[in-house]
Structure 1
Amino acid sequence: MKYPTVHLHPRKEESLQRLHPWIFSGAIARIEGQPSEGSLVEVRDSRGTSHGFGHYASGSIAVRMLTFEPSTEIDRAFYHKRLSEALRLRLSSHLLRPEGTECPNTCYRLVHGEGDGLPGLIIDVYGSTAVMQAHSLGMHLIRQTLAEVLMEVYQSEGAPIPLEAVYYKSETTLPTQELRELAEDGFLIGHSEAQPVYEHGIRFIPDWLKGQKTGFFIDQRDNRQLVADYASGRRVLNAFCYTGGFSIYALHAGAQQVDSLDSSAKAMYLTEEHVALNFGKDCPRHRSITQDAFEYLEQMPQDAYDLIILDPPAFAKHRKVLRNALMGYRKINTLAFKKVAPGGIVFTFSCSQAVSKEEFRLAVFTAAASSGRRVRILHQLTQPVDHPINIYHPEGEYLKGLVLYVE
């Protein structure tokens, strides 16, 4: 099939030769044909050599490459192959463990954008419901096809947990306000009500209708398990707790006391829902605190906690506000280092894609120096196996974390 063609300036094909999936608008010399927003285009270098196909957009990222093979057809079979590959990776990682098995796990990320060769697409699965999220107009336009192919893939691959419904949730993720207003969240196939899912045998209730992201923060699954390894007998503060994932793991591991802290009353309600689901309505070892995290850490008594978890929302969504974001990371970590009890543990994270691992680590180093405490790194954390990072697209490594021992 003949597509409109994007011609690049001389030497601007070098990133494509390194298999980086983004083409920025400044790299384009001219466009042959009239591609519409989200349509497929062919990409050629200044010598006319084809480098593959991708979705076109008029923004800064002009093309998101789907394939670097000029002979590949971008059709239903192409998407079937990519989704099958994604599911096989999760099956090989033993992430799909149905209820009734040892340590069941029924929620996972099936598609992680560029990491699974489908830039602009996220699919999270909660039990028998897949929640699809488009971050590009190209993926938004083919959402129904993707949903249908997804159902076919789960049948053909014999997934241990069958798929029964596909929900579309992109009203907050499409690249422009105009597109977000046009997007309509809702079921593309089937219908289901939110039911508790399992993560490492612990139960949570995803809220794909009104919750952040696709309804739950799956990317912290392995890091929550690591918190459990350190929580037994400790007094734990889970700052920026949102739905209380870290708190539930700490309670499950035998923490002496867990305080969940968030400025959002809705977040505290969700946390308390999860506490009740796993430990009953009145859990004497858990306390909910609705307050700004910075204010709380400044005012809290010295040595009140043996383990502090700092998992704030993204302080920087783009590089323009990077300086302010780094100041935020320095301030909150300085407070934690100063206040944690001797021999205490601090788990600290950044989910800001605009903040590199090096920048985040420097911010934490500066905080440690400011606190005057002796601090050692025990673990360097990242996202789990179902959030794979395309080695040619390092921007996909957005989640960064450190576990620190404070003397």
Structure 2
Amino acid sequence: MVDTVVLKSGPHRVLKGSPWIYRTELEPTSAQPGSVVQVKTREGKVLGQGFFNPRSMIAVRVVAWGAQTTVTDDLFRQRVRDAADLRQVVAGGRDAFRVIHSEAHGIPGLIVDKYGPMLVAQVTSLGLLPFLATIWQALTDVYKPVGIYEHGDLSVRDREGLPRENRLVWGELTSPVEIHEHGVRLEVDLLGGQKTGHFLDQYENRGKVAALAGGRRVFDAFSHTGAFGLAAALHGAESVVGIDIDPEAVDRANSNAAINGVEQRTRFVAENAFDWLRRESDLGPQYDLGILDPPAFTKSKQSVPQAIKGYKEINLRGIKLIRPGGFLITSSCSYHLSEPDFIQVIQAAAHDAHRAVRIVEIRGQGPDHPILPALPESRYLKCLILGVGK
């Protein structure tokens, strides 16, 4: 028997197709955490079914819309197949890409990435637990992986009432694995790397760096394991310096440089990128192409003002480092910082740097990370290509 939760009166986003319903939008209910619930309006209209968890601010994540569709194992089997069909179009030929992108594929709280022979998953919804065995089987049927590894040491799982643990859920574990991007060979640590091991959402933007890199001096700040800088080096950059605060990531970047035979033109250093940008920019323009790909500076609306200061600082320094006629590729993965606000940050940074800057292109996450129009939060990555003048 499925419990029912009732929306309070009001202009809720779920009425326009958003899959998120907040605790404050619901009438009191006795439904249990992790259960599947039916969602109704106060007038009795059935909106659909979803996962319920009052521990989370997002109390309901809608899975099935309308009165006729229900949350079943068969539904998730079909969702996995539908996502795989889309991958044939948007990621065909790649050996590393996002397989399941949570709400955008109708499986809230599930991220799955493919790295060569391995699948790596993140589960952040208590309601998914009864269906995981079916989902793992559906994924193995489609992708035939060597193994599926769950990266579960995530703080968000605390709010869901899920244990923080990493575990092999199917098959055998292979790590590190080698993947390929724009001709670059990359070793990815599935156990100790950030996110699920790599930043797959920037794949297309690294291709843009490769196209711009020929003959240029390049810096890659917040370089992680070197994917942006190595794309530049392999596609003709004169020199590349990468900066990241994580010594293990820097070691991996230098190892990846050697694997690709570009170690003579690349140098990855373990240093605070803020400190490096400040020191180097005081010496004046030195580079023709720069990449700024920092971690999220804010995960809440309350900390956006402080995050803006951080984004302005690194972009001001980055702009100062670029010679006239060069390019700065700058990103924000903080979905609480909107694209218009990010552009305002760039304008303010350019003004204070006393440099002319033009936005040549506005980009974002790749098509294997699709966006729900009714859920702006699913468009989290902003990437701007800036032409820098005098």
TM-score normalised over the length of structure 1: 0.91
Q: Identify if the C-alpha distance between structure 1 residues 140 and 327 changes in structure 2 by more than 3 Å, giving closer, same or farther.
A: farther
Match of 1:289 among 248, 255, 269: 269
Within a 5 Å distance, the mapping from 1:200-239 to structure 2 comes to 200-239=182-221
For 1:29 and 1:177, how far apart are their aligned partners in 2?
21
Task: Give percent identity, aligned residues only.
Answer: 34
Per the TM alignment, residue 60 of structure 1 is displaced from its structure 2 partner at its CA by 1.1
For 2:128 and 2:377, how far apart are their aligned partners in 1?
19
For 2:308 and 2:106, how far apart are their aligned partners in 1?
31
The answer (yes or no) to whether the contact 1:134–1:173 under 8 Å persists in 2 is no
Within a 5 Å distance, the mapping from 1:279-358 to structure 2 comes to 279=261, 283-300=263-280, 301-358=283-340
**Deviations 1:22-74 (CA, angstroms, capped at 9, x unpaired):** 0011111122xx32222211111101221111111112111000011221121
Within a 5 Å distance, the mapping from 1:145-224 to structure 2 comes to 145-152=134-141, 154=142, 162-172=144-154, 174-176=156-158, 179=161, 182-194=163-175, 195-224=177-206
Residue identity opposite 2:152 in structure 1? S
**Unaligned runs of at least 5 residues, structure 1:** 98-104
Match of 1:245 among 224, 227, 242: 227
TM-score normalised over the length of structure 2: 0.95
Q: Identify if the C-alpha distance between structure 1 residues 142 and 184 changes in structure 2 by more than 3 Å, giving closer, same or farther.
A: farther
For 1:201 and 1:143, how far apart are their aligned partners in 2?
35
Q: Does residue 277 of structure 1 match 2:259?
A: yes
The answer (yes or no) to whether the contact 1:133–1:173 under 8 Å persists in 2 is no
SS at match of 2:79: helix
For 1:50 and 1:183, how far apart are their aligned partners in 2?
35
Per the TM alignment, residue 90 of structure 1 is displaced from its structure 2 partner at its CA by 0.5
For 1:71 and 1:35, how far apart are their aligned partners in 2?
21
For 2:287 and 2:51, how far apart are their aligned partners in 1?
50
Q: Identify if the C-alpha distance between structure 1 residues 276 and 173 changes in structure 2 by more than 3 Å, giving closer, same or farther.
A: farther
Q: Does residue 68 of structure 1 match 2:65?
A: yes
For 2:241 and 2:10, how far apart are their aligned partners in 1?
55
**Unaligned runs of at least 5 residues, structure 2:** none
The answer (yes or no) to whether the contact 1:121–1:136 under 8 Å persists in 2 is yes
The answer (yes or no) to whether the contact 1:38–1:141 under 8 Å persists in 2 is no
Q: Does residue 42 of structure 1 match 2:38?
A: yes
Q: Alignment length, in residue pairs? A: 385
Residue identity opposite 1:370 in structure 2? D
**Deviations 1:301-341 (CA, angstroms, capped at 9, x unpaired):** 21221111110000001111100001111111111112221
Residue identity opposite 1:184 in structure 2? E
Q: Identify if the C-alpha distance between structure 1 residues 177 and 72 changes in structure 2 by more than 3 Å, giving closer, same or farther.
A: closer
Match of 1:123 among 112, 118, 123: 112
Within a 5 Å distance, the mapping from 1:38-117 to structure 2 comes to 38-58=34-54, 59-93=56-90, 95-97=91-93, 105-117=94-106
**Deviations 1:288-309 (CA, angstroms, capped at 9, x unpaired):** 2222112111211212211111
Residue identity opposite 1:192 in structure 2? L
**Deviations 1:336-360 (CA, angstroms, capped at 9, x unpaired):** 1122212121111000111111111
- Alignment RMSD, CA only? 1.6
**Deviations 1:264-310 (CA, angstroms, capped at 9, x unpaired):** 21121121121122116xx2111122221121112112122111111
The answer (yes or no) to whether the contact 1:54–1:66 under 8 Å persists in 2 is yes
Q: Identify if the C-alpha distance between structure 1 residues 262 and 359 changes in structure 2 by more than 3 Å, giving closer, same or farther.
A: same
For 1:74 and 1:151, how far apart are their aligned partners in 2?
21
Aligned to 1:11: 10
Residue identity opposite 2:3 in structure 1? P
Residue identity opposite 2:230 in structure 1? I
The answer (yes or no) to whether the contact 1:122–1:132 under 8 Å persists in 2 is yes
The answer (yes or no) to whether the contact 1:116–1:390 under 8 Å persists in 2 is no
